[in-house]
Chains A and B, each alone.
Chain A
């Protein structure tokens, strides 16, 4: 379990990083928190010719408010975002999700943007981005583009970030007024990737009836599965909303697979249970918002 040989680069500025990535192209891999990449290297499941370590780019270690939401830089660690009062105030779902990400020692190193680029459909943060309709900012030498969540996750462990591109930040929309969020998951052990997990956002109108209900599910498809279930819930107060109908609608949408930890049927069942729980809790949060 030692990595194959690679050239190591540690750029001192964003410009230098983009130059290096332009040069390495598809042979280059970005190292940020390393919580997924290093095990892949050690097991020789990945063998990039160049490793571009961005840990020197402290300019990317940012958590900043922007109009309409929160921008998180590529070197902001999970732990920092989890403890950020500004992040909690603007978008509580981030904190709700981050508490479920692995363990504290991993959250001390792992980065939010790194988790998005790794694009594991079992991970929490891609689901958060998908649910909120956020975006990822990709920089390359000579240009920058913002890719919306719906286009960013292209497959299991596959994202829209191309050769020569560096994900420099991600944008998470703020929680709208009279809205609430929740994240529920079932994992085999504390901190494991979830067997199934559901992030939910519920918004209420002036009469405190459900006007928006959306969920995003983990571990039940090649990418996080986002679904608008507003119609299924019914335009009703949370106490009488049809969460079960919403759960059924989501169950019909997802395509879970059987693996060594759970059958597809169990994952579908679990997702239904968690959709109900997450929507109910999110609606409760919205009532108190």
Chain B
């Protein structure tokens, strides 16, 4: 790397566009497209007896109305179960439009296409669906009782059941070790529902080109390549005739890795059928009731430990609320189960989950994806052990840490990618030292006593986590240097505002030795790169970052080979600086990459003065060799893929100081500190931004956000007025310190950072409030009204 760009806090190059309203989001496209709108079920559980569309037919501007009966071929089948798993014995997915039965409020029943969205909604309002209302199953405990069923053929509402065990070194299981432990505790922990809730909802815009028999689909998605395959399969189109593009995407946070959504196959189908452009942009109300939620879990803990707080055995039983369907498999409870041990060496561990159906919106991963629940469980357990033994909470954690010389560390479990859960690197004791220093842990008791003397209640809390990031199977990168000297980078995974354009350009510029301004980056466009998995699991930088670096190295090697020929030098003596290849120590023997690109592509036809140098009479090539050697390709470009053996494990620790109002029970975060280790940093400013955003979402989950369903399965707070996403005014300033323990698994030594900020926040705030109040906190989120009730119950 000749240019120092990797590791620099380079300004985000996408921001001028995004911050001045020049982003192109889904609904900015296709202003003249027909609009789709949906009639959605108002009932949580019902049979559809009849659909009467006659009144809607009078709406001026109506183009089409579709129900399940109209769907042809594979479109009429249930949507795919994306991630099958042997333990998911009763996986169930929805039809694109409900067939005979609806299983949650918001399930699409009828699609209307009209001249504009206003008219489409007018028509929807006139369609009469006759429902036979059934009693719904609401709440994980009611579901587990199994008295009523969400799916008639799923006994007990149990979609999946999985046990994982990591016995002790001498082969004893967790239950046995808990029985024999000097101390044991048992308790229950609850986390309520929340959701990804990107500010831009989902959306699809499709154009059918009848002359070319090809389909172009724009989708606000986290995976354009897989949407493409799903659309082609569902509509029976040849893959090369389908293009999917993710335009600017206004946040995803997991909900947009789910695919294909009903609308993602129905809108392109309607566009084909009608021969017209069709667009659907989800509104907020639709997003609340018809996309996906996450987080709801009930967790039962039994733990046995010694006098130092070392965990001898841990047993966790999890009830996971999966909502009405399981299209994304059981990724969330698997991640909870396997990431629960965190940075700790547990004597033995047993985890069991049951994933149950309820008549509510389906559950798919939301930033953190099961880890916030896991960390809440493990860290509450650490705090309970400390309280039981009268030990400092950080001392109990330190007693259980995996030590720096114990990596790679095998947790003895199978991770979400089906591979062994082996931590690659980390330094947890050092992270704890940094955090205690940053937050002033050791001086806090004095501070607390001083506050108490003033009639104030303050408390300090801590939470640690390990996050498996950069899961496979692969990502790829393509790099092309054109004869104008510009570098064009593309990768298949998508961007939702994370700063990929900036960090991928930093990687390419550093690898190739070109100025950053000369590099352009395209993501999520299947016209440019067809093979990709998607953006989720904190994987974009690890996967595409490394793939782009590898592709750049190929291009660099080729550039040096061609330049060496032209300069009559040894490629090993060449360097690239500011886009110019030159002999090390001899700057006059130089050739710009632009010229190398010209030379890389032997021409018959010249289109400009520079191109003349590549034509057959220019005398640049040897007459003894073919213009393009065997095994070589024209052009200065390269493609490569990165496919890791397994995930790389980032880690971090957060601490917070909170103040609770003795009278109003309001909870205020006074300080929030983060120590974060994601290996080598590509761009520290972007990593900090990721942490800030994650903490903000974590604060939402800890203190504000819940999905409130009533007994009829109605979501009572399906708007931003009542679903309380925190504003900037509710989010504390985040103080950060970085630790850089490189990953040995990938060329750049990096780990993922996308989800880290959100993961421990509920655990940290619970820990701090418990410290301030002296009341056990076992359920999050926690509102002032909840704290008021807890105080009354405790007094």
Residues of A whose CB lies within 8 Å of any CB of B are 1-5, 43-44, 186, 188-193, 195, 260-263, 265-266, 269-270, 273-274
Contacts and interface: CB of A to CB of B under 8 A. Distances in A.
A189 B789 contact: no
B727 A260 contact: no
A190 B717 CA distance: 18
B641 to A, nearest CB: 43
A262 B285 contact: no
Interface stretch (B157-165, B732-740, B780-788): B780-788
Contact of A260 (B285, B722, B784, B788): B722
Contacts, number: 66
9 contacts: A1-B121, A1-B285, A188-B783, A189-B726, A189-B730, A191-B729, A195-B784, A261-B724, A263-B789
A262 B666 contact: no
A190 B284 CA distance: 21
A262 B708 contact: no
B105 to A, nearest CB: 15
A2 B730 contact: no
B449 interface: no
A265 B788 CA distance: 9
A5 B116 CA distance: 13
B12 interface: no
A7 to B, nearest CB: 14
A260 B717 contact: yes
Given A1-B283, A2-B117, A192-B724, A262 B784 contact: yes
Contacts of B730: 189-190
A189 B121 contact: no
A263 B664 contact: no
B360 to A, nearest CB: 15
Contacts of B666: 186
B121 A273 contact: no
A153 B717 CA distance: 26
B213 to A, nearest CB: 34
A274 B665 CA distance: 12
Given A188-B704, A270-B664, A4 B122 contact: yes
A25 to B, nearest CB: 24
A262 B783 contact: yes
A188 B724 contact: yes
Interface of B: 117-118, 121-122, 125, 283-285, 663-666, 704, 708, 716-717, 719, 721-722, 724, 726-727, 729-730, 783-785, 788-789, 792
A263 B284 contact: no
A195 B125 contact: no
A42 B72 CA distance: 34
Nearest to A196: B664
A2 B664 CA distance: 39
Given A4-B122, A4-B125, A273-B663, A186 B784 contact: yes
A188 B727 CA distance: 11
The 3 A-B pairs with the shortest beta carbon distances in the complex, nearest first, are A190-B729, A262-B785, A1-B283
Contact of B118 (A2, A262, A263): A2
Contact of A186 (B122, B664, B721, B789): B664
B708 to A, nearest CB: 5
B724 A266 contact: no
Contacts of B784: 186, 188, 195, 262, 266
Given A3-B118, A195-B785, A262-B785, 6 more contacts: A2-B117, A4-B122, A188-B783, A260-B716, A261-B722, A270-B664
A190 B726 CA distance: 9
A228 to B, nearest CB: 24
A65 B788 CA distance: 44
A117 B785 CA distance: 30
Given A195-B785, A260-B717, A270-B664, A1 B284 contact: yes
Nearest to B720: A39
Nearest to A192: B724
Contacts of B726: 189
A224 to B, nearest CB: 20
A189 to B, nearest CB: 6
Nearest to A258: B785
A191 B118 CA distance: 31
A43 B708 contact: no
A274 B784 CA distance: 15
A129 to B, nearest CB: 23
Contacts of B125: 4, 44
Contact of A261 (B663, B665, B719, B783): B783
Contact of B708 (A1, A190, A260): A260
B117 A266 contact: no
Given A263-B785, A266-B784, A266-B788, A190 B727 contact: yes
A190 B728 CA distance: 9
Contacts of A192: 724
B392 to A, nearest CB: 34
B727 A273 contact: no
A121 to B, nearest CB: 15
Contacts of A188: 704, 724, 783-784
Contacts of A190: 727, 729-730
Contacts of B708: 260
Contacts of A1: 121, 283-285
A191 B730 CA distance: 11
